[in-house]
Amino acid sequence: MAPAVNLLRPRSPSSFGWLTSTPTVPTATSTAVRMPNVISAPETSVHRFVLGNGLRVIVEPDKRNRLVSVALTVGVGSRTDSASTRGMAHLVEHLMFPRCKESSGRGHLRNVESSGGICDGVTHRDHTSYYSVIGSDQLESLLFWEAGRLASFAVDQDMLDSELAIVGEEIRIANVASHGGYPWTTAASALFGKENHAGGDHGIIEHLDRITPAAAEAFHRRWYTPNNLVLSIVGDVTAARVESAVNAAFGALSGPARDEPRRNKVIIAASSHVRHHAPRFAGTGVAIGLATPDVRTVPHAYVAHAVLTEVLNSSRIPRLKIKEPRLRSACVYFGFHGEWFNTSVSDLQVTQIVHEPGWLDAETAFDNELAVLSTDGPRPGELTRAVNALLLAHHRQLDSLATRAVAHGRFELLFPYLSGHAAVPQLLAAVSDSNLSTAATSMLVQPRVVVKLNGE
Ligand SMILES: [Zn+2]
């Protein structure tokens, strides 16, 4: 879905999530299992428990207002789509909001909005996030609506046609805005393999048109199982109230054992060059795509590359633009669509440059800046400024109940090996001048895809 103001999208080129620690999920039992660790933050406490059916629940009481946000994070996304049904995860996300049932009052959207709340969902590469914000006195109702749409998910042709029309429009708008997938889909397909990236997160219209109600229901049955879900709740509630309400609403949910998404090992052996033709693009551009360090295995290197991205954007690229007037604009994005800590699978760093037609050295000019950073390291103050900017962005992304609830779910699902939400400031604080030099060297020597965008 696409709200007027999408709370789940970043406000700046990079976005900054919130890390939470996650204990090992215990063996299923017939009652809720209280997790032993309560993570204490300076202002809040985060509580966790797991239902017998495997549903993981996170609660962060925040009594500063009378609202509550409930996020549902599902371990399925566009990367799970098969090569012939690109967009299935996105379509099922839409079908979780059966708008054509509004007249009978059965739709989740109508339930929430008629109570004065808001709700929405977003499909990402390896997860799908839903959130609702509502008066905290409505918590129990909201949880029953949420559990109800999971348990009674059913699709008829009218629903399918209604949502296909909306999804089709989203795809058309996204295609126009990106000149047909530049640079993300083009770069990711060239670097990581077309089968997992064609159509991006939205999908391909021709594929979606072939999907039947039965196929959408089968996808939901396979992936929307309690043990593939995280429910995260932030707001004017107590942990005891949430535990009781969640048990009442979700305790009876059941489903097959969690189905692990495909995780093909990505091996990028060589650099490549790709041309992306965009007839309506008035200019010439180039995008340099690189795989980010693996957040699962080398989180410190991953964060160092994020800090380097900030140094490049805030300091080096402005200087380069003064030196080189043929450079019209340039920006480095860390993580798919500039969202970091937003996927646990192969992630992308993209440098997007728009330059005057005929200038052939844009890539070289950018590489020269990297080479200076690689040999000399950052200038005095550059590292501190970049770290502080990322700390602020990290803080800003958590300043609403909705984004905090969503971040809890995302990190619980994707990054269970990171300990505690304080890990982001800690990881940022650990970045040194030499880490930045190493990151710059890595950007120069690792295999890359260079996408030339040509509007001529
Ligand atoms: Zn959508």
Predicted pLDDT of residue 19 = 27
Distance 171 CA to ligand 1 centre (A): 8
CA 255 from chain centre, in angstroms, equals 25
Predicted pLDDT of residue 359 = 86
Distance 94 CA to ligand 1 centre (A): 6
Query: How many CB atoms lie under 10 A from the CB of residue 242?
Result: 25
Edge-to-edge strand order for the sheet containing 327-334?
A: 272-277, 449-454, 284-291, 348-355, 327-334
Please give the backbone phi and psi of residue 57, each rounded to the nearest 5 degrees, phi first: -130, 135
Per-residue tens of pLDDT for the chain, all 456 residues: 644 334 443 333 332 232 233 323 333 333 444 443 333 344 458 999 999 999 999 999 999 999 999 999 999 999 888 888 899 999 999 999 877 554 444 688 889 999 999 999 999 999 999 999 999 999 999 999 999 999 999 999 998 999 999 999 999 988 888 887 888 888 888 888 777 777 778 888 889 999 999 999 999 999 999 999 999 999 999 999 999 999 999 999 987 777 666 665 666 768 888 887 777 676 788 999 999 999 888 999 999 999 999 999 999 999 999 999 999 999 999 999 899 999 988 899 999 999 988 888 999 999 999 999 999 999 999 999 999 999 999 888 888 999 999 999 999 999 888 755 668 889 999 999 999 999 999 999 999 999 988 765
Predicted pLDDT of residue 261 = 62
pTM: 0.86
Place of tokens 């109230």: 241
Distance 87 CA to ligand 1 centre (A): 10
Distance 122 CA to ligand 1 centre (A): 7
Distance 418 CA to ligand 1 centre (A): 30
C-alpha span between 407 and 429 (Å, rounded):
21
Distance 75 CA to ligand 1 centre (A): 17
Predicted pLDDT of residue 10 = 37
Distance 196 CA to ligand 1 centre (A): 18
Predicted pLDDT of residue 267 = 67
Query: How many CB atoms lie under 10 A from the CB of residue 454?
Result: 15
Helix and strand numbers, DSSP H then E, in the chain: 15, 13
Which residue type occupies 335? G
Question: Does residue 256 contact residue 222 with C-beta atoms inside 8 Å?
Answer: yes
Domains of the chain in start order, with CATH, are: 33-250 (3.30.830.10), 272-454 (3.30.830.10)
Distance 161 CA to ligand 1 centre (A): 14
Q: Reduced to 3 states, what is the DSSP secondary structure of residue 40?
A: strand
Distance 6 CA to ligand 1 centre (A): 11
Which residue type occupies 299? P
